[in-house]
Structure formats: structure tokens, C-alpha cells
Amino acid sequence: MTKTWFITGASSGFGRGLTEKLLARGDRVAATSRRSEALDDLRAQYGDRLWTAVLDVRDLDQVRATVDRAFGDLGRIDILVSNAGYAVLGAAEETTDELLRDIVDTNLLGSIALIRSALPHLRAQGGGRVLQVSSEGGQIAYPGFSLYHATKWGIEGFVEAVAKEVAPFGIDFTLVEPGPARTNFVHGVVQPEPIAAYDGTPAHITRDAALGGDWIITGDPDRMTDAMIAVADKTHPPLRLALGGTSYDAIREALTARIEALDAQRAIAFSTDYPAEELA
């Protein structure tokens, strides 16, 4: 059955890959990007099955207006893909207020506004689903990516809560958590002015490895977008979808360590409750 999708950040990376595949299989796509010409080739090829709009997700009023217009023009949107985002790579001390505001506005506030804007429409049509593109960085943390992790951990908490709020309306969420993939993600990474004191420390070691090509990237964006489409087609999609062996291993290691640390504090945790006799 033909489905209608809404995708942000559709000019490159996962967004572009999803848009191409969905149109090729016969679905309709409302695709947004910050550049009006970015999807001209697909519009020429697919005509009315591709609805496009210029959208900067940092502009919350524009987000709301674009979502409203897409639902109005297309009548129904089955799957919303919140994909627009980027990373800042540098030690927290190296970053500026401007960099902080911009990445929070894009990755976190823009994603929240997109979802909030779509919820009334999804409720009115009797359901739908949302794929929020997060990252393995929504559950783990690398030194040097502190601002990026702040946004990804933030959107994961928001989605997990909202998923419980709207489940009665037939609205499902999946947090997509890819590991490193061979997209153009690294080329969009913003680097603040380095501080020499951090040379040789974890933040700069991570930066040099990420930008110097030392990391062996095994994630295939083509296979990852296939997995995203497949999970959106499921009757009961999972809340989280780890993509890539790197993501799976890193998240599993982090969760295991977190459980072990929590269990070691069990006695302390319970010692801070009122005892049963006082509660009685």
C-alpha cells in the first residue's frame, strides 16, 4: 500500500537516501531542506509524488507552518522522519555560546517543534508513526562531542516520554540510533577554535581520529536506510533501533556498565528512603 512520508534534512545523507528509495518504490514524499534547488532532480523525475519545501528547523514558526501546509496539501502523512541535524566536534571549553544555541536549536528544539506540530494531525487522522533519527550518541558519549550528545540525549528523553503520551492515539515512535556510517556527516561537522591545552587529551584524540580518517567506518548508509524503511513498515515498531555493529556493541557496553554501577549502589539508594515503620 502506498504511504506518504514527511522527511527533514532530505538534501543529503540518510534523508536523501530515504527520499530516493521511497519514491522509487511508489510512495509519496514531502521532503524538506534548507536549499530550494537540492531536490530539483527528483522533482523532475517523480513529479507530484514529491512535495518539497524550504525549511530551516531552527525557525519554529516555519516548522509549524510547513507541517500544517504539508498535511493540508497531501491530506495524510503516515510517517514523519525527523532527520535534520549535525555535530559540533571540540572540547566543551572550546565551544561558544553561538555554537551551543545553534546546535540546540537545530538538533533538539527543531526536532521537538516538528513532532509537536505533527501530533494534532496524526491524532486527527487516527494514528501514524515518527522516526526520530538520533544516534548511538543518544545513549553513549565520546569526548569532544559534548554538545552533540546533549542534543541527542535530550531528544531521546523527549521521544520516550511523548511515545507514552500518544500511544492511545495509535501514534508510534522509533528512535533510530546509527553508528558511524559512510555518509557526508563528517563534512558537516563544525569545529570550534582549538585550545592548545587539550592537545593529546581525549577530546583532541577523538577529533583527530574522526577527521583524520583513522576510524574504520563499517556502517553502510544504504543498508541503514533499508532498515529504517523496514521498521516503519512494521505493525509494531520498536522504540529504539540500533544500526551498525559499532552502534550495537557500544550501546550494549554502555548499558551493561550502567547496570553494574547502579547495582553497586542499591544499598545506598534504599537507605535514603523512609523506613517502613515511619511510613506507617
Candidate list 11, 82, 134, 146, residue with the active-site label? 134
Q: What is the pLDDT of residue 110?
A: 98
CA–CA distance, 250 with 246 (Å, rounded to integer):
6
DSSP letter string, 87-145: -B-S-GGG--HHHHHHHIIIIIIHHHHHHHHHHHHHHHTT-EEEEEE--GGGT---TT-
pLDDT digits (tens, 9 = 90+) for 183-209: 666 677 899 999 999 999 999 998 888
Q: Is 234 labeled as catalytic in the residue annotation? A: no
Residue 36, pLDDT score = 81
Label the pairing between strands 79-82 and 240-243. unpaired
> What pLDDT sits at residue 264?
98
Note the pLDDT tens digit of each residue in 69-112: 999 999 999 999 999 999 999 999 999 999 999 999 999 999 99
Note if 86 is an active site residue: no
pLDDT at 218: 81
**Ranges of H-type helices in 167-265:** 202-212, 221-233, 245-264
52 strand-pairing partners: 31
Burial of 192 (0-12, 13-18, 19+ CB in 10 A): middle
pLDDT at residue 211 in the model: 79
Active-site hit among 3, 82, 152, 198:
152
Q: Please, what CATH class does the domain formed by 4-244 belong to?
A: alpha beta
Is 11 a catalytic site residue? no
Residue 208 confidence (pLDDT): 87
- Choosing from 46, 142, 148, 198, the catalytic residue is 148
In sequence order, the 6+-apart residues with CB closer than 8 A to the CB of 103 are 86, 87, 88, 147, 148, 151, 190
10-residue block means of pLDDT along the chain (280 residues)?
Answer: 95 94 98 91 94 96 98 98 95 97 98 98 98 96 96 98 98 93 74 95 90 76 96 96 96 98 98 92
